Amino acid sequence: MKQNAEEIKSFVKERYASLAKSKSRSCCSPEATVAMSCCQQDATSCQAQTTAERMYSNEELATLPKDVTDISLGCGNPTAISELREGEVVLDLGSGGGIDCFLAAQKVGAQGRVIGLDMTPEMIQLARENAQKIGASNVEFRLGEMEHMPIEDNAVDVIISNCVINLSPDKDAVFGEAFRVLKPSGRFCISDIVLLEELPEEVKESLDQWAGCIAGALTENIYLDKLHAAGFVKIIADNNPVPFLAENDTPQARKPDEPKTYLDLMSKVASIKVKAFKPDK
């Protein structure tokens, strides 16, 4: 039986609340499950690098304390493609512990502003603690859902997001809300997960795999079509999405009646960078 939207949101919220409470550096922490797939590797054989070290430059990470950069659960670096300018207003969808907000805040400067939006109270609390710790006075964090953003119309210059939109059971609503809150000519610049091939039904119906950034992923074509339907123009995406399955990995052998393994699933998904624009008028 397929899960309904509220069941999915509740489960995802619970999972990320537990990560916020434990201040887990990534899905590869001892507390995490194999389903937390955003770490892009087999959770039983984690590499020495943290998620942040794989996604961000040394220069970026050097500007933030380690206990802030350790709380990173993304699949890319949206600030690297957003071309942020001083004075702009930035909205981060699914801001988590705040790493992308704090990097964006450095780029928009004291005259700019960054809003982090997250539906998990524990993540909002953690992000606010981090903001106070580093003195980020041009960043605020709001509790709310991407499908119903507590943001005014035409209020934001740039939207960023890092491996979060795939978690929403209603992506049409997310893209519609993103279009609404962006100013004319505003930019939508995100990293996310897409499917390289169709998932088995048992995976699509698994709450664990929803929280693990897999079950809710769309194919690239459907993802971009939904952005176009919401009104976005000049949509640009990776020509070659980056598969999660490393070239030197091979799916684990299993009998036909055994469940899908972690590496099997990782071979079906990829990270992607997408940029789109709201029309001038």
Q: What is the dihedral of CA 157, 174, 64, 27, to 10 degrees?
A: -160
CB 144 within 8 A of CB 116: no
Query: What CATH topology corresponds to 5-277?
Result: Rossmann fold (3.40.50)
Average pLDDT (115-127) is 96
How big, in percent rounded to 5, are the helix, strand and coil portions of the chain?
Answer: 35, 20, 45
pLDDT surpasses 50 at 79: yes
| pLDDT confidence band for 258 (50 / 70 / 90) | very low
Average pLDDT (195-209) is 89
Bigger pLDDT: 211 vs 148? 148
pLDDT for position 52? 80
- Mean pLDDT across the chain: 84
Query: Taking the model in full, what pTM does it have?
Result: 0.85
| pLDDT confidence band for 245 (50 / 70 / 90) | low
| pLDDT confidence band for 49 (50 / 70 / 90) | low
pLDDT for position 265? 76
Greatest extent of the chain over all pairs of C-alpha atoms, in Å: 59
| pLDDT confidence band for 50 (50 / 70 / 90) | low
Q: Mean pLDDT check: name the lowest of 73-77, 102-106, 137-141.
A: 73-77
Domain extent listing, the chain? 5-277
